[in-house]
């Protein structure tokens, strides 16, 4: 019995120890979650510190905590554009805020519309008599869209600042596919629908080059006008026209060249920069480290501001990222998820609806699912406005067609009204390997689709006819929505992409304006006066574990190592990493399970865009791709 008693005591001790351990872990996790949430009590007099680590987005991507913990990595940091604008506008009239600081050390970029909105908010802070300062080790095009609006732009003495302008190279795989004996069967409608060209050509077509050239030219003119208007002393022509002479004039010192050309105002390390901010906003009473200053971070500041809940409710549904079938997102526009959000809010007594779009399109079936859900609001006589952000093209325009009023910015990329699909077959590769396909058919479609034997002419015709029918549906939707003859829509469609200004002239957009303008229009249509309405963002909910998980799995130096290094070689390395992601994305787009696509692959690339996850097949072409193992 004494032996049994001793064993029992050991087991009880183990049990008590495990209970204590789990209780300790529980309270540590609880403390971590609570401490990771923005705390309004952390707001104090001093500077408003906005750390733009990663990318500026319309909608933050969902973080899978299990996947992140297992992989020991987290996605690139994201900051919502409207959060930054809201914080800046509040800071302009807040007596506690003495200055605003934007830390761009690990900033990777954002869309031109988002950065313009933030820049205009920075101007409003300066107009209120408060200084706005930026600090970085490397300034590129996107950085300068923000820094141009600052009262002081600081650069590390070993840093670099350059402006290269929009544009770049696409990858074309026709030669590679020929060597691999893979037949990429392309089905498309639209003379300018260049989204399928990477698999059918070895270079850009003349039609695509002309269309993209016009778009990029317009975006570049808007960029130059924005930057030079905000920062007249910037010698933009010198920086972009003859960069070699510009750099050589400063003896190869990139930082000094940037200061001489007016890209930046002052050169200094973080300690010197912090000392300058402390002169303006006050010293940090709790931290005596070099470079410290009194500050409140953006998250805590926004939590302190709270949310308005007065008056009528104007619903805002966000369609951001590639449009895919299923419930993917946020950060990716899952058609079913967004349609469910809209349907669930249909009986929430919304006075009006604003559809905010920042998407290059994607699946036709998912786009149509979203469009129908929006149309149900129109059918109930609820006012619907559309607000286009950086991109609202192809499927992104498809979902805009139910809108009564479409708002866009001059820098918005839209149009790309066209559809395509790509299905690879391997009959040539099989023949090289000595594999042959033979059999008996009762009809031209027997055994089709055949990934080894190839498609019959009847199968090819059926697929192309399906694409043609979808394109006609697209034209009909736009024709009805914009009150234009189908022939007129076809003339400005054909896969052509447009900047916001040209789209307005073409009748695809009603007026210039951002999300605020769309909300104001919707409120007026709903009969609400100023101050008697508030926005309700559908599906938005705080994820208290998000910040904690990111802290656990992401080290600061791993978030954007190349950008933080601050030299041209680091920037080149970062571009090489992006190339690998692009290759993987293009391969997945060729072989992945996808249906008919209304997708703008030719639209300007955005930093940090994630691949859409694989989803179950929908539609004939998706089923064919699934059956062929694509």
Query: 40 or 571: which carries more pLDDT confidence?
Result: 571
Give the pLDDT score at 319.
Answer: 97
* Residue 401 falls inside a structural domain: no
pLDDT in tens, 425-437: 888 888 888 888 8
pLDDT in tens, 289-318: 888 999 999 999 999 998 878 889 999 999
CA distance 236 to 252: 18
| Pairing label, strands 107-110, 54-57 | parallel
Q: What is the pTM of this model?
A: 0.85
Q: Is the pLDDT assigned to residue 621 strictly greater than 50?
A: no
Burial 526-557 (b: 16+ CB within 10 A, else e): bebeeeebbbbbbbeeeeebbbbbbeebbeee
* Residue 270 falls inside a structural domain: yes
Domain region containing 109: 36-163+231-305
* Residue 256 falls inside a structural domain: yes
Q: Is the pLDDT assigned to residue 220 strictly greater than 60?
A: yes
pLDDT > 70 fraction of the chain, expressed in percent and rounded: 81
* Residue 444 falls inside a structural domain: no
Q: Is the pLDDT assigned to residue 36 strictly greater than 60?
A: no
pLDDT in tens, 100-137: 999 999 999 999 999 999 999 999 999 999 999 999 99
CA-based nearest residue to 58, from 106, 114, 112: 114
Give the pLDDT score at 561.
Answer: 46
* Residue 450 falls inside a structural domain: no
Give the pLDDT score at 354.
Answer: 98
- Exposed/middle/buried for 49, CB within 10 Å: 0-12, 13-18, 19+? buried
Q: Is the pLDDT assigned to residue 141 strictly greater than 80?
A: yes
Give the pLDDT score at 145.
Answer: 96
- Mean of pLDDT over the chain: 85
Residue 153, H or E segment? strand 152-161
pLDDT in tens, 535-593: 999 988 654 455 555 555 554 444 444 444 566 666 665 665 566 667 777 777 777 65
Residue 72 confidence class, pLDDT cut points 50, 70, 90: low
**Token pair 């923000």: residue:** 146
* Residue 408 falls inside a structural domain: no
Q: 299: domain CATH number?
A: 3.90.226.10
Structural domains of the chain, count:
1
How many other CB atoms are there within 10 angstroms of residue 455's CB atom?
Answer: 22
CA distance 329 to 538: 13
* Residue 189 falls inside a structural domain: no
CA distance 204 to 197: 7
Q: How far is CA 572 from CA 48, 195, 368, 435, 578, in A?
A: 32, 26, 40, 44, 10
Q: Tell me phi and psi for residue 605, to 5 degrees.
A: -70, 145
Of the listed ranges 157-166, 459-468, 479-488, 596-605, the least confidently predicted one is 596-605
* Residue 317 falls inside a structural domain: no
Catalytically active residues, by annotation: 193, 394
Length of the chain: 630
Of the listed ranges 37-46, 85-94, 177-186, 607-616, the least confidently predicted one is 607-616
Q: Is the pLDDT assigned to residue 144 strictly greater than 90?
A: yes
């Amino acid at each position: 019995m004494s032996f049994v008693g001793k064993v029992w005591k050991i087991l009880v001790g183990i049990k008590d120890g495990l209970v204590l351990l789990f209780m300790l872990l529980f309270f540590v996790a609880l403390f971590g979650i609570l401490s990771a949430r923005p705390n309004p009590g952390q707001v104090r007099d001093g500077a408003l510190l906005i750390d733009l680590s990663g990318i500026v987005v319309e909608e933050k991507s969902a973080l899978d905590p299990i996947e992140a913990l297992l992989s020991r990595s987290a996605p690139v940091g994201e900051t919502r554009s409207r959060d930054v604008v809201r914080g800046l506008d509040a800071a302009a009239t807040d007596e506690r805020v003495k200055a605003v600081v934007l830390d761009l050390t690990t900033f990777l970029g954002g869309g031109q519309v988002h950065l313009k909105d933030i820049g205009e908010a920075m101007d409003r802070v300066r107009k209120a008599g408060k200084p706005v300062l930026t600090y970085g080790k490397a300034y590129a095009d996107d950085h300068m869209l923000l820094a141009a609006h600052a009262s002081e732009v600081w650069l590390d003495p070993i840093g670099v600042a350059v402006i290269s302008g929009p544009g770049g190279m696409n990858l074309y795989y026709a030669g590679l596919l020929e060597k691999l004996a893979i037949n990429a069967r392309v089905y498309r409608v639209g003379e300018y629908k260049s989204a399928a060209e990477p698999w059918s050509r070895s270079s850009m077509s003349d039609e695509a080059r002309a269309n993209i050239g016009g778009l990029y030219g317009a975006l570049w003119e808007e960029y130059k006008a924005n930057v030079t208007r905000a920062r007249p002393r910037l010698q933009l022509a010198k920086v972009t026209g003859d960069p070699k002479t510009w750099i050589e004039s400063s003896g190869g010192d990139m930082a000094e060249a940037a200061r001489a050309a007016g890209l930046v105002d002052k050169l200094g390390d973080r300690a010197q920069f912090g000392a300058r901010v402390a002169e303006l906003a006050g010293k940090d009473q709790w931290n005596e480290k070099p470079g410290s200053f009194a500050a409140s971070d953006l998250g805590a500041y926004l939590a302190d501001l709270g949310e308005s809940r007065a008056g009528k409710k104007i619903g805002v549904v966000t369609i951001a990222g590639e449009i895919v079938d299923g419930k993917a997102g946020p950060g990716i526009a899952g058609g079913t998820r967004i349609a469910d959000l809209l349907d669930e809010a249909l009986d929430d007594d919304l006075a009006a609806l604003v559809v905010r779009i920042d998407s290059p399109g994607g699946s036709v079936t998912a786009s149509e699912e979203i469009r129908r859900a929006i149309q149900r609001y129109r059918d109930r006589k609820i006012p619907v406005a559309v607000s286009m952000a950086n991109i609202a093209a192809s499927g992104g325009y498809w979902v805009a067609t139910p809108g009564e009023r479409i708002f866009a910015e001059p820098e918005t990329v839209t149009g790309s009204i066209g559809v395509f699909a790509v299905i690879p077959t391997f009959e040539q590769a099989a023949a090289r390997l000595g594999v042959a396909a033979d059999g008996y058919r009762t009809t031209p479609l027997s055994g089709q689709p055949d990934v080894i034997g190839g498609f019959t002419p009847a199968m090819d015709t059926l697929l192309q006819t399906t694409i043609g029918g979808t394109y006609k549906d697209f034209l009909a939707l736009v024709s009805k929505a914009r009150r234009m003859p189908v022939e007129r829509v076809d003339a400005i469609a054909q896969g052509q992409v447009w900047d916001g200004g040209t789209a307005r002239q073409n009748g695809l957009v009603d007026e210039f304006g951002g999300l605020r303008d769309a909300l104001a229009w919707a409120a007026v249509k709903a009969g609400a006066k100023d101050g008697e309405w508030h926005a309700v963002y559908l599906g938005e909910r705080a994820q208290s574990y998000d910040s904690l998980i990111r802290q656990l799995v992401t080290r600061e130096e791993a978030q954007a190592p190349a950008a933080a290094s601050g030299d041209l070689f680091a920037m080149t390395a970062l571009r090489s990493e992006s190339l690998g992601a692009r290759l993987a994305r293009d391969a997945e787009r060729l072989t992945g399970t996808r249906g008919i696509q209304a997708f703008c692959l030719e639209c300007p690339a955005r930093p940090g865009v994630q691949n859409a996850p694989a989803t179950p097949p929908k539609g004939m072409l998706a089923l064919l791709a699934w059956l062929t193992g694509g």
